[in-house]
Amino acid sequence: MEFTPLQKISFLVLRIMSSLIFITAGLNHLFKTAGATAKLQKSAFGHMATAIAPAESLIILSGIGLLVGGLLLLAGYKTRLASLGLLAILIPITLTVQVANPEGLGPFFKNIALIGMLFFFIVNGAVYYGIDQVLALKKKVTFNRSHVTVLAVGLLLFLGSCTSTNSVAQTSTQQATSKQKYAVLISQPSHLKAAVNTAETITKDSKYNNDGFVIMACGKSVEAFQKGSEMIQFIEQGRALGITYKICGMSLKQFNIDKSTLIDGLEVEPNGLTYMFDLQLQGYKTVEL
């Protein structure tokens, strides 16, 4: 079957556009390693990957593989081999991170679509206008100006795609940063009132773009969350604002407080300090009273 010039260019556009996904993902793994590592560690099946190697090492190695594979796919060089390597990285990511993803099935089926696209290039190679074709043409001594023209058009499309991708990335970054989550660590019962009042101010003032507020109770402040505490009115005030309350398990042991004496609806974390570090890795703005 003979393809028209426009159909041939469509294969080039498919290769360029799809390669940008892997290049961007690779750069994110290498330059935003902490966020990707936290996502892997918190995924439902992340333990399957971290049983092989530390999460951070896996993220860095996969970032290198995604970046190199994406660049090879973009250039149409060793296309089948590059696609096979990308598939070998994408399938474990899909099984460990995207299966049972709390964000929904969208990311999972996005990866399924990418797997299908990689199968296409594994079977067919770069198809048209890749370095693989240029090398083959040189061997046959049939390289002509029309191929140079199409490669130039492909390069222009790539540059245009980069510009569009950069604009989309900037917009996505702005959207991502337009919402902010906050966390306050309190160590005294009296700090609870101040933390709730702060949450109320942040919730009402649009400049803070509040998208979540956590109060982590450590030290003596855990006493404020016992049944019959005079601070219950502030706790309920905070719940009405959407505050999530966390209690440090080590502090409960330190002050000999049984979990059964706490009011209902609280979440106990084994170590309040490490939990705050986890929130920082997730992008929370944190403060300690």
Domain ranges of the chain: 5-176, 179-288
Instruction: State yes or no: pLDDT of 157 exceeds 80.
Output: no
Q: Are 252 and 149 in contact (CB under 8 A)?
A: no
32 — pLDDT class (breaks 50, 70, 90): confident
**pLDDT mean across residues, the chain:** 81
Please write the tens of the pLDDT for every residue from 100-128: 666 667 778 888 888 888 889 898 888 88
Instruction: State yes or no: pLDDT of 47 exceeds 70.
Output: yes
Instruction: State yes or no: pLDDT of 94 exceeds 60.
Output: yes
Distance between start and end Cα atoms, the chain: 72
Residue 280's Cβ-side half-sphere holds a number of Cα atoms within 13 Å equal to 11
pLDDT of residue 151: 56
- What's the whole-number mean pLDDT along residues 212-226? 89
Q: Shortest CA distance to 261 belongs to which of 220, 229, 230, 287?
A: 229
Which CATH code fits 179-288? Answer: 3.40.1260.10
Instruction: State yes or no: pLDDT of 144 exceeds 80.
Output: no
pLDDT of residue 153: 61
- What's the whole-number mean pLDDT along residues 256-262? 89
- What's the whole-number mean pLDDT along residues 248-258? 90
Instruction: State yes or no: pLDDT of 92 exceeds 80.
Output: yes
pLDDT of residue 20: 92
Please write the tens of the pLDDT for every residue from 191-204: 988 888 888 888 88
Q: How does strand 243-248 pair with strand 285-288?
A: unpaired
Task: Give percent of the chain above pLDDT 70.
Answer: 83
